Structure 1
C-alpha cells in the first residue's frame, strides 16, 4: 500500500482547516450568534435588576469603590484607599426599551466588538443615559441578535426609555440621519440627548453609519466627573472598529485545528475512516466554531 507523502498531506490539511473555519463562521453568524446574544441578555438582565434592587448600579465612568484595604503595621486604616478604577468592559449600565420596535435590551459598558456580541453598548466617553449631555449607545445591525436592525424605521415622536441607577428616563426621537445629513442642534445646558448608532447599508455590507437622535423629555440627572475623554478612547471602540485582541486566541486556535486535522488524518490511515470520524469530527467542529467566534470579533462592531 502506498503511503501518501507529506506534500500531499499539507495541502489537504490546509483545505480542511479553511473549510471548517468557513463553515463554522457561517453557522456562528447565522445561528449561534443569535443564541449567544439571547443567553447573555438573560443573564445580564438578572444581574442588572439585582444591581438596581441593591442600589449599586453604576452612575458614572468609575466602578464602585472596593472595601478598604488591610493597613500595614503602623498605618492608619483610614489612609488605605483604593485608587479610582474605570468601570470594567461589559458591565451592565442600563436597560433600553423602544416600544415601537418591541425592543428591550441591557446596555453594556464599552463599544468593542467583543463586548457588543452580548448586546448594545454605551460609548465610554459620553454620559450615561438620563444625564445632562449626549449619551451614545451603539448596537449591531445583523449579527449577534441584531438589536438595532430596525432603528432606521423610527419616526419623530417615538419614545425611548432608559432605566439606569438614577431612575427611569424618557426620550423622544427627533430624527434619523445618515452620513452627510446635517447635525442636530447641540443640547443646551441642563438638557439631555441620546444617539443610537448602527451600520447603514445592506446586512454585512455596511455603506456607512446610521444614527437616531432623541431628546430627553424627563428631568436630566447630573453627570459625575469623567476621567475618560474622547482623545483617550481606544480606536477599537470607535464606529465600525474591529477587535485586534482576537488575533491572539485565533492564532492558537489555528494551531490546535492544524493538530486536530493532522491527527484525524493519521487515525484514518492507521485505524480506518469510521474511527477517524468518531474521534476527530467532534474535536474539529468544536475548535472550528470557537475559531469562527474569534473571527467574528474581527468584523466591524456595528455589523
Structure 2
C-alpha cells in the first residue's frame, strides 16, 4: 500500500472541474443489487447474520424482497425518469438470477463489482485471496456480458490494506470505497492508475433504514443535498451519488417518494445524469493531469 494513498487537497484550492455542456452536477444513481447467502460461512471478523445461529430468516428474507419485487418496481421508476444506473453488484446475481441480468442489459446499466456475495467479507483476506476474488469478479462479468469491468466497490465495504493496489493491478480503473470528496480524485497505488468516483453513505437508503427514518426524511435529505451542490456547482463542478437498496426503496409506500424527489432534481438545467464510468472517463481525460500537477506543486511546498 502507498504510504499516502489519498493526498489532501481542499476543494476550493484545486483546479476548476467542469462537466460536459457546462453541467453543475454529475448525478449518478447507484442501486445496490446484492446476493446474500442463506447459510453463509462464518468468518473471523464478522457474522454475516447477527441473529445466530443461521439461518437468519428475517434478515435474509428482508433483503430477498429486493431481488424478487423491489428491483422490478425500481426498474419501472428509473425507466419513467429516464435514468441509466450504475449498479453496485454482487456478481453472483448474474449467475443466480438471469432475469435480472437480462433486465439490466436491456437498460444499458453499468455493473461495478461489489464482490461475489455480500455475505463474504474481505477484511481478513490475504492479498492472494483478495486478488482471486477480484479476478473472479472480472471473469464472471466478462463471461456473461462480453465486456471488461471498470469499477470496484468492496463487498459490505470491507477493505484491506491491499485493496487499492490490487484493484489497479487486476484491471479496475475506478473505485468507490472512499466517500471523502465531492469530486473524483486520484488514488496512489503501487500497481497502476486508479481514481475514486465518490460513493455516499449519507444519501444512502440503508443508513436511513438503520436510523428508523422513512422515505420523507430520505427525500428531504436528497433535495437539500442537491440544492447545496447545485449552487456550488456554478463555480466548481460536483458529483452527487444516490445509493439505493431495492429491498427498501422498492417498497410500495416508498417508491413514489423517490420518484418525486428525482423529478425535482431532473427539472433543473445543468444536471448531467451519468454512469460512474462516464464520470471517471471525463475526469481522467479532462482534469486528472491538472490535479496531479496541482498535488505535485503542493507537495513541493508543504511536503504533502
Normalising by the smaller structure, the TM-score range is: under 0.3
Q: Which has the higher contact order (CA 8 A, sep 6+)?
A: 2
Q: Which protein is bigger by CA-based radius of gyration?
A: 1
More helix by share: 2
TM-score where L is the length of structure 1: 0.24
TM-score where L is the length of structure 2: 0.24
